[in-house]
């Protein structure tokens, strides 16, 4: 399937921008390619690409799009550089820890290519601002790591008519596709509904091979350049699956769903509450999950209260950081262990951030256990509030 991106023109006019002498030299290896040439390089210079996220996927995509001479890169991010980012987010270095990712990205990209204009957007993308922001660019490269923002980006691209170069990663596997073109499917055609909240762990919970986002992000940058130049066969109507352990890639065909509310029936006419759509913070009829703060738990442990402290993370997480006295029961085996638990004791459950442990609390509540608490904020908050020697991961 051929590229469907409308021809890129200079802002405010029909003519493509000219290349300076320095640019002619810098991009000389591009210019030797018949598929690119001077006109193609001028298209790249005229292009405006929005990267959503300056993390694992956004890092390689931004670096290679800047190096290729894409004229304007908009970057949306509101996070700060953490040391745990550095094994995969190569926009940032050790000296950037604590800085905003946007500030770090601007410095790095200017060093890569001073001809590229970087437009920072230090904000949380939301239903209130996404249409205006996406509409300022020719296409979007989605480097997000949560379902609510993926659906938001998809719907904003459908409503504004902008291609969405999608990528996702988890542990050793990745996905890449081009959504929201004139003839191809959108993200909702493939994933109509999000999974239940907390069911699919994030990279911060499940881990990711540091090299994997480099592979997937570079594939995203490649797709963006193909769309801008109108060359090759973009991943429209195809989902590229990356298996880094097996050193394999394969593409599966995907089709536009005529019943898709976004690009099919077009019943989706405006952006929605994506937290609610993905079940984030949505009230339920279930019994409330009682919480205990890390400081409250520490006081009870110091008093040697008779309580059962359970850790529902995975064994490799328990090996990285642990609360003394916690018994490890991974969430995947938790249901099988419920009957053996001592119901005569107060039970406190923790995980990394509090999501998985809340799931375990609800399982106990469903089994009739009432004296059970979730550790608010998980072991991350424990490290912040009680024991700074515990590793944050």
Q: Go through the domains of the chain in sequence order and give each one's CATH number.
A: 21-277 (3.40.50.720), 291-385 (3.40.250.10)
Least confident interval from 11-20, 149-158, 378-387: 11-20
Distance from C-alpha of 186 to C-alpha of 264, rounded to nearest angstrom: 9
The pLDDT, as a whole number, for residue 1 is: 42
Q: Mean pLDDT, the chain, as a whole number?
A: 92
Residue of 275 and 349 predicted with greater confidence: 349
149-180 residue pLDDT tens: 999 999 999 999 999 999 999 999 999 999 99
Over residues 239-262, mean pLDDT: 96
| Tokens (6 digits) for 204 | 């911060």
Tokens of 57: 């996927």
Tokens of 41: 């390089």
Q: What is the pLDDT of residues 115-157, one digit of tens each?
A: 999 999 999 999 999 999 999 999 999 999 899 999 999 999 9
Q: How far is CA 141 from CA 76, 93, 94, 300, in A?
A: 11, 22, 26, 48
Q: Is the pLDDT of residue 12 over 50?
A: no
Q: What is the pLDDT of residue 2?
A: 44
CA dist 278 and 290 (Å) reads 22
Name which of 201-210, 316-325, 339-348, 367-376 the model is least confident about: 201-210
Q: What is the pLDDT of residues 358-381, one digit of tens each?
A: 999 999 999 999 999 999 999 999
* Residue the block writes with tokens 């209130």: 128
Distant-in-sequence, close-in-space partners of 29: CB < 8 Å, separation ≥ 6: none
* Interstrand relation of 307-311 and 327-328 (parallel, antiparallel or unpaired): parallel
Q: How far apart are CA 255 and CA 154, in angstroms?
A: 16
Q: Contact at 8 Å (CB) between 212 and 58?
A: no
C-alpha–C-alpha distance, residues 102 and 54, integer Å = 7
pLDDT of residue 4: 44
326 neighbors 311 (Cβ within 8 angstroms): yes
Tokens found for residue 34: 């018949």
Q: What is the 3-state secondary structure (H, E, C) of the chain?
A: CCCCCCCCCCCCCCCCCCCCHHHHHHCHHHHCCCCCHHHHHHHHHHCEEEEECCCCCHHHHHHHHHHHCCCEEEEECCCECCHHHCCCCCCCCHHHCCCEHHHHHHHHHHHHCCCCEEEEECCCCCCCCHHHHHCCCCEEEECCCCHHHHHHHHHHHHHHCCCEEEEEEEECEEEEEEECCCCCCCHHHHCCCCCCCCCCCCHHHHCECCCHHHHHHHHHHHHHHHHHHCCCCCCECEEEEEECCCCEEEEEECCCCCCCCCCCCCCCCCCCCHHHHCCCCCCCCCCCCCEECHHHHHHHHHCCCCEEEEECCCHHHHHHCCCCCCEECCHHHHHHHHHHCCCCCEEEEECCCCHHHHHHHHHHHHCCCCCEEEECCHHHHHHHHCCCCCCCC
Q: pLDDT digit string (tens) for 267-296?
A: 999 999 998 888 776 444 456 889 999 999
pTM: 0.79
CB 140 within 8 A of CB 177: no
Q: How far apart are CA 203 and CA 212, in angstroms?
A: 12
What are phi and psi for residue 149, nearest 5 degrees?
Answer: -75, -30
Active-site residue set:
203, 351
């Amino acid at each position: 399937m051929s590229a469907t991106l409308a021809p890129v023109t200079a802002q405010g006019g029909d003519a493509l921008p000219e290349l300076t002498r320095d640019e002619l030299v810098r991009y000389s290896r591009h210019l030797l390619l018949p598929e690119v040439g001077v006109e193609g390089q001028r298209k790249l210079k005229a292009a405006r690409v929005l990267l959503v996220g300056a993390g694992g996927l956004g890092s390689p995509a931004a670096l290679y799009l800047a190096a290729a001479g894409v004229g304007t890169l908009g970057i949306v991010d509101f996070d700060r550089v953490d040391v745990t980012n550095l094994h995969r987010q190569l926009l940032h270095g050790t000296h950037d820890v604590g800085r905003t990712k946007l500030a770090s990205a601007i410095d790095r990209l200017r060093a890569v290519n001073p001809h590229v204009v970087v437009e920072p957007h230090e904000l949380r993308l939301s239903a209130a601002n996404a249409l205006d922001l996406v509409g300022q660019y020719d296409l979007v490269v989605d480097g997000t790591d949560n379902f609510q923002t993926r659906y938001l980006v998809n719907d904003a691209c459908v409503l504004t008519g902008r291609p969405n170069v999608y990528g996702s990663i988890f542990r050793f596997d990745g996905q890449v596709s081009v959504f929201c073109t004139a003839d191809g499917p959108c993200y909702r055609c493939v994933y109509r509904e999000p999974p239940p909240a907390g069911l699919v762990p994030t990279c911060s919970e499940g881990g990711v091979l540091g090299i994997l986002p480099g592979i997937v992000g570079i594939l995203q940058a490649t797709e963006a350049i193909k769309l801008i130049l109108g060359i090759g066969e973009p991943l429209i109507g195809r989902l590229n699956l990356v298996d880094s352990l097996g050193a394999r890639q394969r593409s599966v065909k995907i089709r536009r769903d005529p019943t898709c509310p976004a690009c099919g029936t077009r019943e989706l006419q405006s952006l929605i509450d994506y937290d609610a759509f993905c079940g984030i913070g949505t009230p339920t009829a279930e019994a409330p999950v009682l919480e205990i703060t890390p400081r409250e738990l520490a006081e009870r442990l110091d008093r040697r209260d008779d309580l059962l402290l359970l850790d529902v993370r995975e064994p490799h997480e328990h090996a990285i950081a642990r609360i003394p006295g916690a018994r490890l029961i991974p969430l995947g085996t938790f249901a099988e262990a419920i009957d053996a638990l001592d119901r005569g004791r107060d039970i406190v459950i923790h995980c990394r951030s509090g999501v998985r442990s809340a799931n375990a609390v609800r399982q106990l509540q469903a089994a009739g256990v009432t004296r059970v608490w979730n550790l608010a904020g998980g072991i991350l908050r424990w490290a912040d509030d009680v024991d700074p020697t515990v590793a944050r991961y």
